[in-house]
Structure 1
């Protein structure tokens, strides 16, 4: 990188200004946000070769994703996203163009979610380390705690797409990975290498892993008794919610929606399609607990119910009730 830290910080400050009615942004020792309700604070890390691999992940993807994964936590508590602090440790091999693309992704994500970059820090490091800190607010935050036996379990969309995308990406050729790395807008990309065209929904699969969109709960948060985002996998995240409420859960396998691309990729990679749906991470959909029978009218998908008996159980039409382990992504395992 040719630019020094002072030059980079000045460019970032000039690019990401904060309106006076929102608060005080980059330039002081700390940022100030004018909030009207309870503050919601969250942070997430993304580390090279742990959370991402640069052979198919661009700096633009990284910028967009570091915002999304943090905003997802704000949305999971029923909050409105307000501000974002971003810190990065990068090696000297990262170019000025890489850095520009990183902040292009951050800027586009902030435009999508309606928040502001309000500060952060930069440092040199051996590997790329990205840290996001999101600030939100809510009049009444929705917690993981609040579920009771008899409540219904809902999700907001297909699960397993990110995990399927990761598995596919790891099995691509170098040329195919370079092509994926060049894409900024997966929704509008219509030209893929021939081998990838057979996977219906390839755009959605790749976007879900490389540039996930946090699920805003405005249409249904008023009926949620408990809520969290599904970042590590349905089973392990549902287990965490149940532990918080000292209850158990039943998941009806025949009610889980299966995206057509999951079946195609699972067949191609010789894996069981239900595995990424139940245990795949980084979907950033929402897990919603409600006692409302009409929750489907608000766009929610029913997949199970809360029960008194502790544990997570899969209900299969043929095999009946199956106890299962809370499998999913864990860092220290």
Structure 2
């Protein structure tokens, strides 16, 4: 894809580091009042006045977190921002600024990096965050992207992982498992393409789950929705490594147990049908798939009437005493201990190399 001879190829070395930064960021606009100084000095300056700053960083590495044989560079730029904004929203905060650093090998001409940054710019525009800095350097290992997201929140609104209480309800946004099944489709078609490069797959039946993998959306709407509903979560986390891993994080940090009900896990019909096609258990996919970037949080039972009719939110379980453990309650009403089955970047089993 990157070796198309008809494409113009401008060597990055023609611009130099600072020229490259200026070129890639010249069309980014400042939209946040808190951005005092963006790109162009030794450091950015932001002013949140009476609010708390929230900061999160993620590193994405080619061959570990993404595969450019089916991940368009524009989508990759967009997704790299989403991964980080999701962490800010998981603190019940609003994202305001990002920095983006890249290391690219010489197989990436200027035009490829322009495409990558067009995705970053689209994410900034859609989510109203400012690009305020970053770094560029060369790499002999393909492409690496590091994004740092900065957000703000009033101290009383911040939500951590350690506030869940016994009898709190466990709630998730959206639906689970789509990103992992989208990855399975893309990996399958990649193998078909290797055998028959002339094959043009029809991916339209899988459009939703492929989009969940290639162009996920962070849940910016949820902190605002919860505020409108007058609901303050007792704990919160984003679902990046699989539902089971995130539940275990909440339980560990809050010193509670949990009962998760299999029948309550929200699954899109496309996820269910694709799981059947691949002969995969949809509950296992939801528990261990990851990359959904939905939000998982707990609320007190008194707040249930405020959320029960909302189509964006689903109660999937409740927290228990620590001594009761962490269990999946199956449709057959049996209790199965939940163990961490989420994706790990340090897993050497290539069959488990899912994007984080």
TM-score, reference length from structure 2: 0.84
Find the counterpart in structure 2 of residue 57 from structure 1: 71
What residue is the counterpart of 2:42 in the other structure? 29
Deviation, structure 1 residue 14: 2.2
Partner SS, residue 7 of structure 1: helix
Q: Offset at 1:311?
A: 3.1
1:7 Cα deviation after fit: 2.1
Q: Hey, what's the Cα distance between the residues in 2 that align with 1:312 and 1:262?
A: 25
For 1:250 and 1:149, locate their aligned partners in 2 and report how far apart those are by CA, in whole Å: 11
Indicate the residue corresponding to 1:187 in structure 2: none
* Matched-pair contact (CA < 8 Å) for 1:23–1:33: yes
Match of 1:186 in 2: none
Report whether the alignment pairs 1:74 with 2:85: no
Matches within 5 A, 1:149-228: 149-173=166-190, 195-197=202-204, 199=205, 202-216=206-220, 217=222, 218-221=224-227, 222-223=230-231, 224-228=233-237
Cα drift, residue 174 of structure 1 = 6.8
Q: Is 1:84–1:134's contact at 8 Å kept on the other side of the alignment?
A: yes
Paired with 1:49 and 1:10, the residues of 2 have a C-alpha distance of 28
Secondary structure of the structure 2 residue equivalent to 1:282: coil
Q: Shift of the alpha carbon at 1:321?
A: 1.6
Unpaired segments ≥5 residues, structure 1:
178-192
Structure 2: stretches of 5+ with no match in the other structure? 1-9, 195-199, 348-356
Match for residue 109 of structure 1 among 108, 123, 126: 123
> TM-score, normalised to structure 1's length?
0.90
Equivalent residue pairs, number = 316
Deviations, residues 258-303 of structure 1 (Å, cap 9, x unaligned): 2111122112222212221111111000001001222223431010
Cα displacement (A) at 1:18: 3.0
- RMSD between aligned alpha carbons? 2.0
Q: Per-residue CA shift, 1:135-162, capped at 9, x if unaligned? A: 0000031111110110000100110000
Q: Equivalent residue of 2:48, what SS?
A: coil
> Structure 2 vs 1, CA of residues 280 and 174 (structure 1 numbering), >3 Å: closer, same or farther?
closer
Q: Does the 8 A contact of 2:164 with 2:298 survive in 1?
A: yes
1:272 and 2:281 aligned:
yes
